[in-house]
């Protein structure tokens, strides 16, 4: 069965996130900073009545943003480990269909990302698309800090 992936630009690279984890794609708006958090946690946004922590995905994986214009940047709202998180990316391009049998295991290191973040690599047209394993983007300590931010904001 074919699976769908949302293609996101992060730095100079394109990554895919499984569409079942992506709830929406939003324009980059005002983010309220939260003090004493990890540098890649940029703060929180209010989204349709909910407070959502926002991370900078490029900073999290060790890249710099390519987009110079904030109008091009997006916040991908995704469910990661039973938590809704916004991820700042340089842009969102498309949704593609990928047969699971065409997904190859990730190499040890791809584009500076540690393989733990990667689900695999798939050919899309003439390009290779790196598929992210969003459930492994955060370490246990980072996940705990996101949880604390949610508790702090909602208490």
CA 151 to chain centre: 22
Q: Give the tens place of pLDDT for each residue, 67-92.
A: 677 788 999 999 988 889 999 999 99
Residue 96 is predicted with a pLDDT of: 95
Residue 137 is predicted with a pLDDT of: 78
Any idea where the domains of the chain sit in the sequence?
A: 3-154
Residue 112 is predicted with a pLDDT of: 52
Residue 74 is predicted with a pLDDT of: 95
Residue 42 is predicted with a pLDDT of: 93
Q: Which helix (H) or strand (E) holds 150?
A: helix 140-154
**Other Cβ atoms closer than 10 A to 33:** 10
CATH architecture designation of domain 3-154: Beta Barrel (2.40)
**Which residues of the chain fall below pLDDT 50?**
none
Distances (CA, A) of 34 to 46, 114, 125: 13, 27, 41
Question: With contact defined as beta carbons under 8 Å apart, do 133 and 18 qualify?
Answer: no
């Amino acid at each position: 069965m074919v699976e769908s992936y949302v293609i996101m630009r992060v730095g100079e690279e394109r990554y895919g996130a499984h569409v079942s984890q992506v709830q929406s794609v939003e324009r980059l708006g005002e983010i309220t900073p939260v003090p004493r958090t990890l540098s890649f946690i940029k703060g929180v946004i209010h989204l349709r009545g909910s407070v959502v922590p926002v991370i900078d995905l490029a900073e999290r994986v060790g890249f710099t943003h390519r987009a110079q214009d904030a109008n091009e940047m997006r916040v991908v709202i995704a469910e990661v480990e039973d938590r809704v998180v916004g991820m700042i990316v340089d842009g969102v391009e498309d949704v593609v269909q990928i047969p699971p049998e065409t997904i190859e295991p990730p190499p040890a290191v791809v584009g500076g990302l540690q393989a733990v973040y990667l689900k695999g690599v798939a050919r899309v047209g003439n390009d290779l698309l790196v598929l992210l394993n969003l459930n492994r983007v955060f370490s246990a300590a980072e996940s705990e800090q996101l949880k604390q931010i949610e508790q702090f904001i909602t208490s």
